[in-house]
Amino acid sequence: MIKVLSYNINGIRAAIRKGFVEWLEDCNPDIICLQETKANIDQFDQSVFKKLGYNDYWFSAEKKGYSGVGILTKLKPNKIHYGVGIDYMDREGRNLMLDFDNFSVMSLYLPSGTNIDRLGFKFKYMDDFFSLVNEIRKSKKNLINAFEKFINLLPFYGTTIMCYDDKNLKLLINKIKTRNILTYSIKNKKADVLIFDIIQNKLKTSFKLKINNKIIHSSNYKFTINAIGNHNILNATASIVAAKLNGIKNKDINNALTNYCLLYTSDAADDMQ
């Protein structure tokens, strides 16, 4: 089993000073994707990673001290993709992908969504990236097969929570018969959890969930999150369903969601300019 981690490092130079290398040695992942490296390769010592047996790859933004991604891997990749070939994405150093024999790994850092004035940029980025991912899926046919294999390795008594709005996952949902699957959707009324009555106001969104499933009893619930965009609604819904499966009450779930605030980093502040 290969151990893969992802970590928003919030500045590789500061992280090294604060014990990241020691943590990495103790945790010992085979591959770790890093985001917000905020440095060019001539600004920090990569030998500390080589001493631990890692091959290191970095893709920095044109603007110094901003954004940037990296991947450390003990497995040697067959191919390295620096960026995605879309100028406005690649100038900010947000995508780095490594191809191995039977899988690929991407370190991805999305633009900040904490400023209304920059939301249009983020949504364009996500739309373009979604199209890009669909092209990657066509070229890497074993991606869905790997996900199916992962689900079938889960304990038979567990539950997999899957988005019915993703066409590839929808095919997989209809195919898997040996595991409990809970589906959620904004668009498809056949889903176990239907998201509706979505109201977005500035940086807040409220929505209701209609839950029809034998595992979670049928009812309507209303929740509020401190974010906008369908991707945030879908992510929140998956978390809500997981919480419900673990017996957490609606009131406690809603309190957690309404008290959650997006974290502002110096990079996020730059993103707002």
Q: Is the pLDDT of residue 272 over 60?
A: no
What are the tens digits of pLDDT across the range 7-42? 999 999 999 999 999 999 999 999 999 999 999 999
> Predicted confidence band at 245 (pLDDT cuts at 50, 70, 90)?
confident
Q: Tell me the range of 70-84, 133-147, 228-242 where mean pLDDT is highest.
A: 70-84
CA distance 171 to 222: 29
Percentage of the chain beyond pLDDT 90 is: 45
Q: Give me the mean pLDDT over the 159-169 stretch.
A: 87
Residue 267 pLDDT: 40
Residue 60 pLDDT: 94
Residue 215 has, within 13 A of its CA and on its CB side, a CA count of: 18
What are the tens digits of pLDDT across the range 179-199? 888 999 998 888 999 999 999
Residue 266 pLDDT: 40
Residue 12 pLDDT: 95
Residue 61 pLDDT: 93
Q: Residue 64 CB: number of other CB atoms within 10 A?
A: 11
CA distance 102 to 81: 16
> Predicted confidence band at 265 (pLDDT cuts at 50, 70, 90)?
very low
Residue 147 pLDDT: 76
Q: Give me the mean pLDDT over the 50-68 stretch.
A: 94
* Average predicted confidence (pLDDT) for the chain: 85
Q: What is the pTM of this model?
A: 0.62
Q: Give me the mean pLDDT over the 213-219 stretch.
A: 57
CA distance 109 to 94: 5
Residue 215 pLDDT: 56
CA distances from 245 to 160, 172, 181, 215, 240 (A): 11, 22, 12, 8, 9
Residue 212 pLDDT: 76
Q: CA angle at residue 53 from 49 to 54, to 5 degrees?
A: 55
What are the tens digits of pLDDT across the range 89-146? 899 999 999 999 888 899 999 887 777 777 788 888 888 888 888 777 766 666 677 7
Which residue would you say has higher pLDDT here, 217 or 63?
63
Q: Is the pLDDT of residue 46 over 80?
A: yes
Percentage of the chain beyond pLDDT 70 is: 89
